[in-house]
Chain A
Amino acid sequence: MGMTAMSSNSIPISETVSQVAERKPLSEILHEWVITVDHKRLGLMYIGLALLFLALGGLEAAIMRIQLAVPHAHFVSPQVFNRMFTMHGTTMIFFVAMTILFGFGIYLVPLMIGTRDMAFPRLNAWGFWMSAFGGLLLYFSFIGGEGLSGAGTAPDVGWWAYAPLTSPAFSKGHSTDYWTISLLIAGFGTLATAINFVATILSMRCSGMTLGKMPLLCWMYLVTGGLLLFTITPLTAAQLMLMIDRYLGGHFFDTQAGGSAVMWMHFFWIFGHPEVYVLILPSFAFVSEIVPVFSRKPIFGYPIMVAATVAIGFISMSVWAHHMFTVGMASYSNAFFVLTSMAIAVPTGIKIFNWLGTMWGGQIRYATPMLFCLGFLFQFLIAGLTGVMLGAAPFNWQLSGSYFVIAHFHYVIVGGILFAVFGAFYYWFPKMTGRMLNETLGKWHFGFFFIGFHLTFDFMHGAGILGMPRRIYTYEPNRGWETWNMIVTVGVLFQAVAVLCFAFNLFWSYFRGHATGNDPWDAWTLEWSTSSPPPAYNFAVIPEVKSRRPLWDLKHPEDPDWRYE
């Protein structure tokens, strides 16, 4: 019987597992982690890898901000500045954001759908190591990028690498090749992970968990996986073409031989824009799990949330050329991409209303995960509004390529995605380690990060409207940009303090945090029914569910959810 199976599950069964593991010699532990195919270990390795790259990418951002704090600065050379913004963008998108979101997904999805691993555990490990080696290759370019012709280290062509900057004539040495091959390899890993998400969610759900009873997190990872199948692959194709151009003397993006630089833009953004939704959908997933638990209410409008997620998945594949309004497209193309960009705001807006509807009348607990979700809601709304502004072609012609654009997409990626990820850390850390993250430190982390975020990215809008272009090395003192830039750089300091709070909290709480039971938040999804951390097999008996909130049913047998769904 499902009920009895689950109640026997919720008895702590593996208290000794982690203690036994700690007594092994280091080499053996290392060996276990390297050869593992366990989704929980791989998830944690993804997260660890991403945090490492977050530090590197953050360092690169800090270098850029120091250089731009005052006019006529010479903190780094222009060449180094170019490398910094290229590496910062590439690192943050491919090796921080995607990696950390995959990590949480790989950790949580099998637990939430009540199974013991991903559909293809070996493929899962392969995907992780591909991503890890891709990241390693990208950073090895600092050493190996000189190549035989001795020009340049580290890629310096910008994270979207427009032609003809990448042609052999303008990018000598191997820095661009490191960028290409790194993303190609990481892309194969991403494709493997996307396949795994789709197959796991469609084929591995526990008994009773119909698609309509899945936690929203799983729905959003399903759409993310499906979206990735169609979006990471165009990037792979474009990188193959670039390699053919650079190594075999092809002419895809070589305008001298009749090729087209604009083709690269299209191919890159066919990947590039859906990629934003690949990153934001898992963030939506975290928020959709955290907000109900901390509002003590089931999610408002579950079917509409699912429909909006699927709608975002489809519409996101038809908006890419709004990155290219200033390239000079036909007016009907402009009109089409303006309309689709406006249209995607509708399902996104529906989601915001649903989260608000979930909180409405709830008993909100202002714990750290919820604070980050509230920050997410507020900032993502503003990010969406500036997105609608930039989606209008005439407005875009004015501000494309300015700091206003930088402000907009950092509002999405930092204010939206990173805030949701921090929320996810505070929410699921007890499940992953068996100990709570410290709440006081968590609130300091939130406070500093909130202030730092707003100092940095609010004031970038101003500099952008005053005409400051992106990717400039330095600027004249008489443009009216000095104060804005100084405030932006000061904000970085606050963010750095916040991240240190967070890093300290992770280490301290891992060893000294409050030991916790299976279910510290009184939550409702299946991952909280097993021990913390879960045993290698996740569930002693595969659970059976009857509603979207199986643990509610278990805790409230007198008033179970399946009566109403």
Chain B
Amino acid sequence: MSSLPATMPITETPWTLPSRGRVGMFSLIAGETAIFTIFIVAYIYYIGKSLSGPMPRQVLEVPIFNTICLLSSSLTIHFALRALQGGRIAAFKLFWFVTLSLGAIFLIGTGREWYRLITKEGLTITTNLFGTTYYSLVGLHAFHVSAGLVGLLTVMIFALAARVNQEHAERLDVFSLYWHFVDAVWVAVFIVVYIVGR
């Protein structure tokens, strides 16, 4: 900065700054990352510290189908946005609907897993440390998926009412950052809970 030449600085170049939507969303993601980090650290620290059963190995099944659904929804939301940027509204609606469905399938899958654990295996949040940390971490993630689904659904309703067009591409791009984040967090949760923790 201090070595600028002693002439009038050139101001002809256009003054551009990063989009505030993207900066804001990246900031939110940074903050959310810290929340998840604390929960993941707690999960890792308490692995094997439960004083009574059931233990993860006895009751947890690896949710491979669920994981495939959620991770592929990152791809479909990307395709949806590409379609919207290109003005192909029908393709946008289709891919957006697929994204919404994949997210919903994931949430239903988590619900079924919890139902099985609670009714068949007798694991609740009060049973032991595993139950406390498992339901907290997976629940925190499921809450974020739910929030994302509310957003996806809102946009879907507007899209079906023909109120979404090319000019909304930037805003929806900012929203998609959140959805990608939710998917990326699942990778971390999956590794910690279903691979390391088992």
Contacts and interface: CB of A to CB of B under 8 A. Distances in A.
Interface of A: 2, 119-120, 191, 194-196, 198-200, 202-205, 207-208, 210, 212-213, 225-226, 229-234, 236-238, 240-241, 244-245, 248-252, 257-260, 263, 267, 270, 302-303, 544, 546, 562-565
13 contacts: A199-B20, A202-B23, A203-B20, A210-B1, A226-B27, A230-B30, A233-B35, A237-B38, A237-B39, A244-B125, A249-B125, A252-B132, A565-B2
Interface stretch (B41-49, B102-110, B150-158, B165-173): B41-49
B70 interface: no
Given A229-B31, A238-B38, A258-B51, A248 B125 contact: yes
A-B pairs, 8 with minimum CB distance? A212-B1, A249-B126, A237-B38, A203-B20, A233-B34, A250-B132, A119-B20, A199-B24
Contact of A230 (B31, B46, B125, B136): B31
B12 to A, nearest CB: 11
Nearest to A259: B129
Contact of A251 (B2, B20, B31, B132): B132
B40 to A, nearest CB: 10
A563 B35 CA distance: 47
Given A244-B125, A562-B4, A258 B46 contact: yes
Contacts, number: 132
A240 B133 CA distance: 12
Given A244-B125, A244-B136, A303-B2, A267 B11 contact: no
Contacts of B136: 240-241, 244, 250, 252
Contact of B31 (A191, A263, A546): A191
Contacts of A565: 1-2, 4
A303 B2 CA distance: 9
Contact of B17 (A203, A260, A562): A203
B31 A544 contact: no
Interface string B6-43: 10110100010111100110011011101101110010
Contacts of A546: 8-9, 11
Given A198-B23, A198-B27, A199-B27, 5 more contacts: A203-B19, A237-B34, A245-B132, A546-B11, A565-B1
Interface residues of B, number: 38
A257 B31 contact: no
A258 B49 contact: yes
B126 A208 contact: no
B50 interface: yes
B128 interface: yes
A263 B49 CA distance: 13
A354 to B, nearest CB: 15
A268 to B, nearest CB: 11
Interface string B117-133: 00000000110110011
A195 B30 CA distance: 10
Contact of B34 (A198, A210, A229): A229
B31 A232 contact: yes
B196 to A, nearest CB: 18
A564 B46 CA distance: 58
B32 A119 contact: no
Contacts of B15: 207-208
A143 B50 CA distance: 39
Given A244-B125, A257-B128, A258-B51, A120 B38 contact: no
A196 B1 CA distance: 26
Contacts of A249: 125-126
A204 B17 contact: yes
Nearest to B140: A240
B11 A207 contact: yes
B35 A236 contact: yes
Contacts of A200: 20
Contacts of A303: 1-2
Contact of B20 (A120, A244, A250, A302): A120
A330 to B, nearest CB: 15
Contacts of A244: 125, 132, 136
A205 B11 contact: no
A203 B17 CA distance: 5
Contact of B46 (A119, A198, A259, A302): A259
B126 to A, nearest CB: 4
A191 B33 CA distance: 13
A258 B128 contact: yes
A562 B9 contact: yes
Given A203-B19, A257-B128, A563 B38 contact: no
A149 to B, nearest CB: 20
B29 to A, nearest CB: 9
Contacts of B31: 191, 194-195, 229-230, 232-233
